[in-house]
Chain A
Amino acid sequence: MATISCRDFQTQHEGTNDALRDVSAQAHIRDCASCRSFIEDLGAIRSVAHSLEPADAEPPARIWVSLRAQLEEEGIIRNAAPKSWFVERFGGWFNSLPRPALAGAYLCALLAIAFGLSGPINARINRQRWLDGTESSTTPLSAHLMSAEQASFSSPVASESPVTASLHKNLEIVDNYISLCENSVREEPDNEEARDYLYGAYQQKADLLAQMSERRLNAEAPGQ
């Protein structure tokens, strides 16, 4: 029986769990150490992925609801755009959350996404995950962060302090890199390095927003 090539084998089986059901694949694995190793790697990745499932890469909708509501309440962003479905649905949850926790929530949410999707995994699987998961995760994320940025630029507080102005200026710089990296990743979904830069930029933006939120809270309660 003619056995299939390594390329065909890996293309057919990279995203499935059916490698050993196919007779030609079984024959190929017997003869090919490289593909045997490939299948073993896939198995290891799957088992790790299963163990990570509870830490969902997409943060719960209430995180976004909470953050948005908090930023609106503090005047950092304005409610210019119509609320999304999850805001409508979960909006009431916000008030029950403690305020100090919100300052770092952006960062935590972003880190969850970044670490959840940037693990040491096969490049071909990365591509699929980007197409399936990353884009859908980062699109609402990007929209929320962009909204926060635009609104905070129009905030009168921004002009009061050179430090606040510096934070906004640097936020603009990070936004620019996010945009550049997003373009780069869209053009080359297999480019893991570009994706790392994108996540790094998101992380920086989250860090900055958390800093700004913390400063605002401190300003509201001086001496505490």
Chain B
Amino acid sequence: MSTTELIPLRNKWKTGVIIPSLLLVSAVPVFAHNIEKHFKVEPHSVVTIHNPNGKVVVKAWTKSEVMVIATHTSDKVEVDAEQSGNRIDVMTHQISDSISPEDLQADYQINVPEDAELQIHDDSGEVTVANVMGDMNVETVGAGVDLEDAAGYLTVKTVGGSFQCVRCSGRLEVSSISGSFKLLSLHSFHVHAQTSKGNILFDGEFLPNGIYRLKNYSGVIEVHFSPGDSFDLSASSLKGKVNSQASLTPPSHPQNVPKFGNAILGSFNSGHAKVELSSFDGTINILKRN
């Protein structure tokens, strides 16, 4: 039964006016609030972003300026973007006591100078950062984190969010409980990645004197290597398996071989980098790069 059948014919003209009007009125609250702000900054500026829920996209540009474009739909939240010296603070905060998680949502598109330092806190949603060369600290609960062409000291901490890093360099420290990591085309001299229930894929360079520590409790740790790579390898899984396609020279100190679980130790070529892979009951695969 359609709504029209319940309305007398003589009132049909009213229906034609009133219903669209009502729809228009009811649609008002979902209109997005758009905010755009620009801030002039000096070199090595700091940008902090606190967002409980939503997408945060940060891209570097060549201007000495930070641009913040924020969008939110609820009237129960406010977006603040303020400058304090060479620091820009961006924050979503609630202005109502009763608020649903959906009301908290705000999306950001932020442009920063290449050398900006970022501190991002985003509980749920998504964080994407591209071409930023400054140090970076990202913390999320469920939000996934994607970094591209990032450098500096990168620290990422999630609870369940996944992490992907493409063409990152510098120093990388990432931890999670159930998030999986993909570290692709990496050019980092220090990588420390730990997740409990997640997979870790490392497909990057092993730089001379670099240290690469990947650890999980369960899941798969997969590392790709090329014939020209040079690293000392220590791979151990307490309750799981270790599979390696690398031809290793046995260690000169056999007493370092773990007494428990499955382990592979040795040097690949000259052993310039240090690669430590460990898992509680997961599988470790060391595979030749295709």
Contacts and interface: CB of A to CB of B under 8 A. Distances in A.
Verify that A and B bind, or say they do not. yes
Interface of A: 160-163, 166-167, 169-170, 173-174, 177, 180-181, 184, 188, 190-191, 193-194, 197, 200-201, 204, 208, 211, 222-223
B159 A190 contact: no
A201 B93 CA distance: 33
A162 B101 contact: yes
Interface range on chain B: under 10, 10 to 19, 20 to 34, or 35 or more? 20 to 34
B217 A197 contact: yes
Nearest to A169: B160
Contact of B123 (A163, A193, A194): A163
Contacts of A223: 93-95
A36 B53 CA distance: 62
Interface stretch (B22-30, B63-71, B185-193, B255-263): B255-263
Contacts of B259: 190-191
- Pairs A-B, 7 closest by C-beta atoms: A170-B177, A166-B142, A191-B260, A163-B123, A161-B101, A163-B141, A177-B217
Contact of A173 (B123, B178, B260): B178
Contact of B141 (A160, A167, A194): A167
Interface of A is mostly: helix
B93 to A, nearest CB: 6
B260 A188 contact: yes
A173 B177 contact: yes
Contacts of A188: 260
A194 B238 CA distance: 7
A166 B141 contact: yes
Interface of B is mostly: loop
A166 B280 CA distance: 23
B240 to A, nearest CB: 12
B259 to A, nearest CB: 7
Interface string B213-237: 0000100000000000000000010
A1 B157 CA distance: 63
A193 B238 CA distance: 8
Given A173-B178, A177-B280, A222 B94 contact: yes
A174 B177 contact: yes
Contact of A166 (B93, B159, B217): B159
A188 B238 CA distance: 11
Nearest to A188: B260
A176 to B, nearest CB: 8
B194 to A, nearest CB: 8
B51 interface: no
Interface in B268-290: 278, 280-281
Interface in B100-131: 101, 123-124
B5 interface: no
A197 B142 contact: no
25 contacts: A163-B101, A166-B142, A166-B159, A166-B160, A170-B160, A170-B178, A173-B197, A177-B196, A177-B217, A180-B280, A181-B280, A191-B259, A191-B260, A193-B238, A193-B260, A193-B278, A194-B238, A194-B280, A200-B194, A204-B177, A204-B196, A208-B177, A211-B159, A222-B97, A223-B94
Contacts of B280: 177, 180-181, 184, 194, 197
A177 B160 CA distance: 15
B182 interface: no
B265 to A, nearest CB: 14
A182 to B, nearest CB: 12
B124 A162 contact: yes
Contacts of B44: none
Contacts of B281: 180
